Amino acid sequence: MFFKKTVIDEDTRLQYAREIDSLIGQDRSKEAHAKTKELEKLDKDAAGYFMSYFYYMGEVERENPREALKRIEGYIKRVPNDGNAYLMLGNIQQYFDDDEKSAAAYEKAVELGNTTALTLLAGIYYIHANEFRNQAAGTINPMQYADYNGKAISLYIRCLELYNKAFQANKKRMEDTDWQAYGRSADMMYIMSLNGELKKISKADLNRVNALSIGASVISGKANVQEQLYWRNQAVAVTAQMEEAGFGAMAEYFRASFCLYDCSKKKQEMLLNAKYHMDRAKELSASLNAEQKKSYPSDFNDVLQMYDKMNRQLGKAMQNRLRGGELPQLALDYLSDRVPGIEENRTFADYLARVKSGEVITEQKASNTGKKKGLFGKFF
């Protein structure tokens, strides 16, 4: 004899969910668990979300990820349009190191309006974009290069979209690691456009949901100037969001990086901009929290090394330009309503005064090669 599962009405289910959620929020786990077991007697699958939580977190119940997975899957069949449930499913799949399934769950959570899943999904895609980029750098087979690099491009674009949505939803929720991945994604798209590695990306491509297995087509050859400007403007917009969210020092390192990418013997003036941003990053570092002070500036050692290289090559020319009255063209690197004045950067203003007085300044090496190297160092 088969027993049919009992199913309570939606209003009752929601009332239980609110009460249990409130108890968990008050750290009254035992009471929340008791209420969940009460719900389970009425409708087992309706209680699946909270039972999954208890098994996954190891609260009241002994930690059991497999049981947590079973319960959340049962709940999703019962309540298929709950974004929080797909967030939970994605977290559990991460426990089992299944990025494909975790990303699919987070994608569904995002589709259903769960904003917490935005950065979690972007984080998965960012890691895989870097892996594909490294695989592209490690092959001499043109077909494999196009495949790996195409997947990396597709995922970097998706990261930019997801992090931007996360910023719009709640910029304070984004952490240091989120901002670094966001900035690196923008930087990578710009440097690849300079290298002529991208096809022209249409608006439809930017809004496309990209799975880990999907890549954009790539081309080789002469870079497209319009395309370069598009991706540089994207990087400028990302650094403006960083600064708005309180990550000003990080924003300056990224501004320095894309100025350094622009810098060459034919475009020596961009070293002026890079110098300004490096000095401003130092000044803003005073406001870093304790954790950031442990890792900055080594997190951006790749940028420091690029600056050292260009400064060795063009440092004297930069000082000659400053003596001649040339100043950084900061409007290139900030949104039009946020361009700082030269005098706001006291370190750079002091450097400028010393150079104009005729002093020849030899800067100390900016990079710290004894510390970890940034992601750029892996690629270039």
Q: Model confidence over 182-203: pLDDT tens digits?
A: 999 999 999 988 887 765 444 4
Secondary structure E strands in 26-113:
none
Tokens of 134: 């490294």
**Res. 291 pLDDT band, cuts 50 70 90:** confident
Q: What percent of the chain has pLDDT over 70?
A: 89
Tokens of 89: 């499913």
Residue 247 to residue 226: CA distance in whole angstroms: 29
Q: Which residues contact 243 (CB under 8 A, 6 or more apart)?
A: 251, 338
Question: Is residue 301 pLDDT above 90, yes or no?
Answer: yes
- Compare 373 and 72 and report the one with higher pLDDT: 72
Q: Mean per-residue pLDDT for 121-147?
A: 90
Among 66-80, 105-119, 315-329, 358-372, the minimum mean pLDDT is found in 358-372
Residue 135 to residue 175: CA distance in whole angstroms: 28
* Res 219: pLDDT: 43
**Res. 4 pLDDT band, cuts 50 70 90:** low
- Listed residue (229, 226, 276, 272) closest to 251, CA to CA: 276
* Res 123: pLDDT: 96
Q: Mean per-residue pLDDT for 209-220?
A: 41
* Res 139: pLDDT: 83
Among 107-111, 211-215, 269-273, 320-324, the minimum mean pLDDT is found in 211-215
Residue 265 to residue 195: CA distance in whole angstroms: 17
Angle between helix axes 270-284 and 248-262 (nearest 10 degrees) is 160
What element of type H or E holds 111?
helix 99-111
Mean pLDDT of the chain: 87
**Res. 316 pLDDT band, cuts 50 70 90:** very high
